[in-house]
Amino acid sequence: MTAYVFPGQGAQFSGMGKDLYESSEKAKALFEKANEILGFDITKVMFEGSDEDLKETKVTQPAVYLHSVIKALVQDNINPDMVAGHSLGEFSALVVAGALSFEDGLRLVAQRADAMQKACEINPSTMAAVLRLEDDKVEEICQQISEELGEVLVAANYNCPGQLVISGSDKAIDEACIRMKEAGAKRALKLPVGGAFHSPLMEPAREQLAAAIENTEFSKPKCPIYQNATAKAAVEVDEIKANLIAQLTAPVKWTQSVKNMVADGATSFIECGPGKVLQGLVNKIEPGVEVSGVE
Give the 3-state secondary structure of residue 264. Answer: coil
Report, in angstroms and rounded to the nearest whole number, the Rg of the chain calculated over CA atoms: 18
| Contact (CB, 8 A) for 126 and 193 | yes
Return d(Cα 23, Cα 37) in angstroms, integer: 22
Catalytic, out of 86, 198, 199, 257? 198
Would you call 23 a catalytic residue per the annotation? no
Would you call 199 a catalytic residue per the annotation? no
Which residue blocks in the chain are alpha helix, DSSP H? 18-23, 25-38, 42-48, 51-54, 57-73, 89-96, 102-122, 135-149, 170-182, 203-214, 237-246, 254-263, 277-285
Q: Which helix (H) or strand (E) covers residue 88, if one does? A: none
| Contact (CB, 8 A) for 226 and 232 | yes
* Max Cα-Cα span within the chain: 57
Catalytic, out of 67, 86, 87, 169? 87
The set of catalytic residues is 87, 198
